[in-house]
Structure 1
Amino acid sequence: MHPASWVGWVLAVMVAALATTNPFYLAVILLAVVLVAVLAPREGPGVISFRALAVFGVVMFALSLGIAAINGSYGDHILFTIPGPEVPRWLGGLRLGGPVSAEGLAGAAIRGLAILCILFAYGVFNGAVSPHRVLRSTPAALFQASLVVTVGLTLLPSSVEDLRRVREMRALRGAPGGWRELPALVVPAIVGGLERSLRLAEAMEARGYGASPPLALAPRLAAAASAPLLIAAAWLWFYETGWRPLAALLAFAAAALLWWWWRAASRARAVSRFDREPLPAAERAGLLVAAASALGLLALRLTGRGALTYNPFAGLPLPGFEPLPALLAAALAWPAVLLIARPAPARGAAERDSRLAAEPAP
């Protein structure tokens, strides 16, 4: 699949996961992401990085539940009580221990599900798309940002690969294992990943990837002014319902300023590509589906429809479930349809490509 398709899918999953607090819809989004993760192509470091992110997401989910239990929670359904010290009230409601309610654990689980969906989607993207393809497909206006993203995408796979290599070398030398030896594994892996990313950044800088003429002052000021306009528009829309027309006007002005900066930044840098990777029509349709799904869930959240919001502290009621939001959440699995329909490469061609990739350059 084209890198733009994967980027659009990840952004749609992120918007959908943050637009709802209903555990049923979050579960549908997570199942869609897992289905795409099973069918997405991953080779070498991509498999290892996806596993690392998956483990990290599960750990974050468990950590959110643990923090909710340690801090205690309010609610009518008390499950158990954790002994803890008395905390003064002037500390702003901080609690250490105390009664743990089912409402508090449900709220922590909902937050953990949203984080899990985003981390799984990013893991699929990191394993299925090469950073160099992302750099080639980036528009000229975002070229500088794409350099940073490319270096960042190479950090996790290289660190995981270094961790596996250090672990194998320590095992061959008869070094003891266990949690006490974890710093001896993690520190060399992180240092090696950082050094590899820095070497990549230096090589790209030496080849002129970061050289670009400075942008004019007016477009830079327009881009800087768009951020406070968007913040003011969001504040007026959510907290001052009588000023929503002004909020819409400010959001339109911010979008116009961003479009002006985008046009000026695209013209300031001339980019030549020897081989343009086309975006197939099926993937364009998939991007439209992803945009419709994310915008549809966001519109339902802003209008208060579709039972997208769920408050477990209101007596722990059963979350609502409606067909339209569920279909919009399930539509995020559209890459799985393309991956199933895509013909598998021939065995001889795959072996030839892997053999040519393994041969050293002259």
Structure 2
Amino acid sequence: MPLLIPLLTGGMERALQLAEAMTARGFANQPSYDALSQTAVLLGLVLLLSGWLLRLVWSFPTLGMILLLTGIIVIGLTIRIVGRRIPYTCYRSQAWQRRDSLVTLSAIVVLVLFLFDLPDRSSIFYYPYPAITMPSLHPIIALLTVGLVMPAWVTKKA
């Protein structure tokens, strides 16, 4: 609890500061919340709270879980429906191209190869208190890591 409260308050402060900064820069959209959506969110919260209380306080685990899940579903659907009403603009749509596939494929290949048993894995692990020596680097690991440079190879020259 001593860690949770400062974490939540700090997170909420940063979120509010970000929201204010985005509003000041013109990124705010004023969605219209009708009475039905507000009532649905309130109903979802009541269902969520009652399910939580039934489950944890009054020892009705099955009914509590049903109400808890129903509340979560009602809130989620309401947020989805209200979110669909807000118009958005796609400034530049980009089609998936061959170079995008190449970059994605190279990243997946490097990821899969790093999952295999490599010869000297000690060079890719972090240790906070290293010894002052030359770092060891196996050539196979260096060659695999070069695959992560693929985005620089496929970008167009300006």
Q: Which protein has greater RCO, CA pairs closer than 8 Å, 6+ apart?
A: 1
TM-score (normalised: structure 2): 0.46
Structure with larger Rg: 2
TM-score (normalised: structure 1): 0.24
